[in-house]
Amino acid sequence: MLRRTLIALALSSVFAVAGAEETKVAAGTTSEPVVPSPADDAAAKAEEARFKAQYAQWRATATKEGMARYQSLRESAAPRDWAAASQMALERYWDDESAADKPALPTAAERAELLRNAAAAAPDDTLIQWMALTHMPNTSGGCAAPTPDPDATAAVMRLEPDNALAWLPSLKLAASVSDAQGVDTILARMAAAPRVDDHTVDFVNLSLDLEKRFPTSPTNMPVMPGVDQADLDFYGALGSASMMQPSLYPLTQACGRTEAKNADPRRFAACADIARTFALKGNRFELQRAGFRLLKQLGETDPELALRERQAQWLTHIVSADLGDDGGARFRQLLHEFHVAWRANPNEFEAMQAAATKLGLMSPMPPNWMPESHPDDEPETPSETPDVGETSAETTDAPPQS
């Protein structure tokens, strides 16, 4: 859950780079292996045993409360409750298959059926249709997400033809059958779409409503000690919502000048417009960065977007650099202030700006400042980039409704 939280804040890569720099051995030097003393070794083993015991206690409580919530939602008359229950992958608490006290839990097949029933019962509920499209429980046992449901794909396009993301599954289908004209038509529709909405706000609101209806025991222990429960609930919801979009990989393929070298030149103009829509109208850091990368992939230059990208990079730079080493208190403050700011304005860049300003972290970006190169900021090479956007939400991070 915490990892997805940091990704949602677009800070994880910055922290990861900083951590690597701190532990890197200088060129031309060697490091001696550190052998812990018997006392240190014993203390480490005792701490590990304490954590395991504490985790086992938390897991038993979380599973019991989660099952009670699941049963109540499954037996509800509201399709949104069925959709919420479908996301409760309680088995994630029990990765240790040898656990003697592992209870009988809802299977992925049972939860997938709940979501299909919800979608059939509420054909005009956009959030449920998006969940059926992007959050269908994986029944294959592998890491890849199931093939998008055709009915959900059609429903999303019917409900939101003005949402650029709604066209992505159709783009993938057209590309899979080498329908160049179909790809061009869909890209033109995406370019003309005034919105880019992955329904993160709707999903977070649904999740937080469930937390109010079904309050759970405090979960600070295994997640993040010292963080307020309301903040934990918010980041659990935001973390799961990070999967609320179809894969962007078909877009990077269709817009690759090498892969589509024989395409109508108007295709690349449409791709550039899509990139600008993502960068300027996407609420999530992930969508904004996807727009920046796509524009670079196309070889396009846009001074306005280049400045905005540098401002976003400067923001993550100063936030990570100024958190300090105070046992995490400053970081917990940042998490809380971002939560407050996001509820007022769900644009993650602007919410992070507001949070950093509230904590006195903001400072003007030097005119000539440039960030250090990072893989996430480089344009993608479609032929070499795996379809990472199609991994199942369940195999990456647990949803919050438990």
Least confident range from 32-41, 141-150, 259-268: namely 141-150
Domain-located, residue 20? no
Task: Please write the tens of the pLDDT for every residue from 277-306.
Answer: 999 999 999 999 999 999 999 999 899 999
Is 0.85 topped by the overall pTM?
no
Number of H helices, E strands in the chain: 19, 0
pLDDT digits (tens, 9 = 90+) for 198-237: 999 999 999 999 999 998 776 555 556 677 888 888 988 8
Q: Considering the domain boundaries, does residue 120 fall inside one?
A: yes
The answer to whether residue 122 sits within a structural domain is yes
Mean pLDDT of 160-185: 94
**pLDDT value of residue 390:** 42
Q: Is residue 178 part of a domain?
A: no
Instruction: Mark residue 252 as left, alpha or beta (left: phi above 0; alpha: psi -120 to 50; beta: remaining).
Output: alpha
Contacts (Cβ under 8 Å, ≥6 apart) of 140: 146
Give me the sign of the Cα torsion angle 287, 8, 167, 344.
Answer: negative
How many whole angstroms separate alpha carbon 394 and alpha carbon 193? Answer: 30
137 domain-assigned: yes
Q: What is the dihedral of CA 12, 167, 268, 200, to 10 degrees?
A: -20
Position 324 scores a pLDDT of: 56
Q: Is 115 domain-assigned?
A: yes
Distance of CA 396 to the CA centre of its chain: 9
Higher pLDDT, 148 or 71: 71
Domain assignment present for 232: no
229 CB neighbour count, 10 Å cutoff: 14
Q: Which of 231, 211, 212 is nearest to 220 (CA)?
A: 231
Percentage with pLDDT > 90 across the chain: 47
Structure tokens at 270: 């449409």
Q: In the prediction, which pLDDT does 97 show?
A: 57
DSSP character for 231? H
Mean pLDDT confidence for 249-276: 92
Q: Which residue has the tokens 């993160």?
A: 200
Over range 349-376, report the average pLDDT: 85
pLDDT in tens, 302-340: 999 999 999 999 998 888 776 655 557 888 888 899 999
Q: Report which secondary-structure segment, H or E, holds 127.
A: helix 126-134
- Candidate ranges 113-117, 138-142, 285-289; pick with highest mean pLDDT: 113-117
Residues 29/265, Cβ–Cβ less than 8 Å: no
Q: How many Cα atoms occupy the beta-carbon half-sphere of 1 within 13 Å?
A: 21
**Higher-confidence residue: 300 or 38?**
300
Give buried/exposed letters for 185-220 (b at 16+ CB in 10 A, else e): bbbbbbbebeebbbbbbbbbbbbbebbeebebeebe
pLDDT at 386 over 50: no
The per-residue pLDDT for range 7-17, each reduced to its tens digit, is: 333 234 223 22
Closest to 83 (Cα-Cα) out of 153, 123, 132: 132
Whole-number pLDDT of residue 362: 87
Categorize the per-residue pLDDT at 61 as very low, low, confident or very high, splitting at 50, 70 and 90: confident
The total domain count for the chain is 1
Q: Which domain holds residue 114?
A: 78-90+106-141
pLDDT band at 48 (very low <50, low <70, confident <90, very high): confident
> Does 263 map to a domain?
no
Q: What per-residue confidence (pLDDT) applies to 388?
A: 36
Residue 4 has pLDDT above 50, yes or no: no
**Cα distance between residue 280 and residue 308, in whole Å:** 9
